[in-house]
Amino acid sequence: MDVECVVFEASDGVGGRVRTDSIEGFRLDRGFQILLTAYPQVRRRIDVDALGLARFEPGAVVRTATGMHRVSDPLRRPKDLPRTLFSPVGSLADKLRAARLVLDVRTHSVRDLLHRPDTSTARRLAAAGFSTAFISAFWQPLFAGIQLDPDLEVSSRRFETILRMLAVGSTGLPRDGMGAIPAQIAVALPADSVRLSSPVATVERGAVQLEDGERIGARAVVVATDGPSAHRLLGERVPDPGSRAAACCWYAVASAPRRGPYLMLDGEGTGPALNVVVMSEVQRSYAPAGRALIAAAVPGPGGARAEPGRARGSAARALVWRELQRPDASAHRCDPAWPARPAPAAESPSARRPRRRVIRVRRSPRHRLDPRRDVQRRADNGRGPAPPARKPRDSAGTVTPRSSGHSGSAVRANRPVHRTPPRTMIPRAGRMIKRRSRPVI
């Protein structure tokens, strides 16, 4: 069913934060962003091939006190298994637990993962048996950049869902930047269905009012904003869910400090940047020829106060980088950037509700319950002889012979005939039980 609608966009372009700016020939996304192809809506709504996606290597490079060490996904990069097993990032038991966790989320659907008992990500990892050192060196910086949560306080359901997206799909960068994703979606929309630079001031029942005073009536109003903005527009009808701040600092260098399309993690926890990527090593179009582009992500509460100089110092040592400035000096900061969504204190009713157990009962064929029925049916169809006639029995169960002086009808009229049904096969608990019914008069 076609529905006529109009989208009021506050900024001068579609996409919200999923946009890309061009500065001095570099492509700078508005925040540290990557595309996960395993998301169901990505497969359903986006033509990934048309984006010219360049993909990351599955895994990460972790910086520790002893240097840079690669940790790869053994299911997709089996040749890197020895290097991963013997790297100093965590113990061998930690890596085996990580493989078991990845295999667990790969073999369960998103629906199953979202119905599991909920807790915080930190408690979920601790319950899986991971050591504190491995959580701090690998899990914490990895998901601090994805969930913007350095303390791993967010829901374990979301953690397992995102981990499944990383495990079953690929991650990458579009040729024209992340802004190419909303641009592709907007092309398919009808003309005049999106009004740019039209911030909404208030939302009423069946109407919206823009900041310039224009009022537009509608049969229904859908608010698709971040949590604080929705709370501002709708008041107490939508409580403020809270949000997490983040920052991304961009640097231009003459050459890449490390080759390869890898995500680099701060395994020492020195901060403030926990994720560093040489974007031009993943997607060559992000930097002009002969130059390299580096992104340093600063998630968590420190993101709103991140200074580019500190991010550069924590991201790499002994490198001379030049920071790329946007016209808006605060464009590298995103506050709010992501819903807080902590682990709920109690499970939702849908998660507590036990699943209905369906028991299937397999009925036995009729010819097993009464063999005479099958014989009679075959005789009626002309495919076999007729079954033998049953002989009358007395009350003691013995056969009563028919004398020449009495007809069968006389015998039945003068004396009742006790008939005993044949033995029946009764299905019970997966096996057939023979039982003789009581005589029927």
User: Tell me, what's the pLDDT at 342?
Assistant: 61
Task: Report the range of poorest mean pLDDT among 149-158, 165-174, 294-303, 309-318.
Answer: 309-318
Q: What is the mean pLDDT of residues 87-101?
A: 92
Q: What is the mean pLDDT of residues 243-255?
A: 83
User: Tell me, what's the pLDDT at 38?
Assistant: 92
User: Tell me, what's the pLDDT at 240?
Assistant: 81
Higher pLDDT, 126 or 425: 126
Please state, in angstroms and rounded to a whole number, the distance separating the CA atoms of residues 96 and 90: 10
Higher pLDDT, 134 or 384: 134
Query: pLDDT per residue over 233-248, tens digit each?
Result: 888 888 887 777 778 8
Higher pLDDT, 311 or 33: 33
Sequence ranges of the domains in the chain? 20-179+242-350, 366-401+410-435
Three-state SS string over the chain comes to: CCCCCCEECCCCCCCCCCCEEEECCEEEECCCCCEECCCHHHHHHCCCHHHCCEECCCEEEEEECCEEEEEECCCCCHHHHHHHHCCCCCCHHHHHHHHHHHHHHHCCCHHHHHCCCCCEHHHHHHHCCCCHHHHHHHHHHHHHHHHCCCCCCEEHHHHHHHHHHHHHCCEEECCCCCCHHHHHHHHCCCCCCEECCCCEEEEECCEEEECCCCEEECCCCCCCCCHHHHHHHHHHHCCCCCEEEEEEEEEEECCCCCCCCCEEEECCCCCCCCEEEEHHHHCHHHCCCCCEEEEEEEECHHHHHCCHHHHHHHHCCCCCCEECCCCCCCCCEEEEEEECCECCCCCCHHHHCCCCCCCCCCCCCHHHHCHHHHHHHHHHCCCCCCCCCCCCECCCCCECCCCCCCCHHHHHHHCCCCECCCCEEEEECCEEEEECCCCEC
Q: What is the mean pLDDT of residues 411-427?
A: 51
Task: Report the range of poorest mean pLDDT among 4-13, 215-224, 397-406.
Answer: 397-406
441 confidence band (pLDDT: 50, 70, 90): very low
Q: What is the mean pLDDT of residues 305-321?
A: 47
Please state, in angstroms and rounded to a whole number, the distance separating the CA atoms of residues 193 and 199: 15
Q: Retrieve residue 26's tokens.
A: 């570099």
Q: Which amino acid is at 259?
A: R
Q: Retrieve residue 196's tokens.
A: 């740019």
Q: What is the mean pLDDT of residues 388-410?
A: 54
Task: Report the range of poorest mean pLDDT among 32-36, 76-80, 227-231, 432-436.
Answer: 432-436
Q: Is the pLDDT of residue 128 over 90?
A: yes
User: Tell me, what's the pLDDT at 351?
Assistant: 44
Task: Report the range of poorest mean pLDDT among 74-83, 161-170, 367-376.
Answer: 367-376
Task: Report the range of poorest mean pLDDT among 96-100, 294-298, 419-423.
Answer: 419-423
Q: Is the pLDDT of residue 162 over 60?
A: yes
The correct answer on CATH 2.30.42.10 for the domain covering 20-179+242-350 is no
The model's pTM is 0.69
Q: Is the pLDDT of residue 375 over 60?
A: yes
Q: What is the mean pLDDT of residues 158-169?
A: 92
336 confidence band (pLDDT: 50, 70, 90): low
Q: Is the pLDDT of residue 94 over 90?
A: yes
172 confidence band (pLDDT: 50, 70, 90): very high
As to burial, measured by CB atoms within 10 angstroms (0-12 exposed, 13-18 middle, 19+ buried), residue 49 is exposed
Higher pLDDT, 255 or 339: 255
Q: Which amino acid is at 79?
A: K
Nearest CA to 59 out of 76, 77, 78, 72 is that of 72
65 confidence band (pLDDT: 50, 70, 90): confident
Mean pLDDT comparison of 70-84, 128-142, 324-338, 373-387, highest-scoring range = 128-142
Q: Whole-number mean pLDDT of the chain?
A: 78
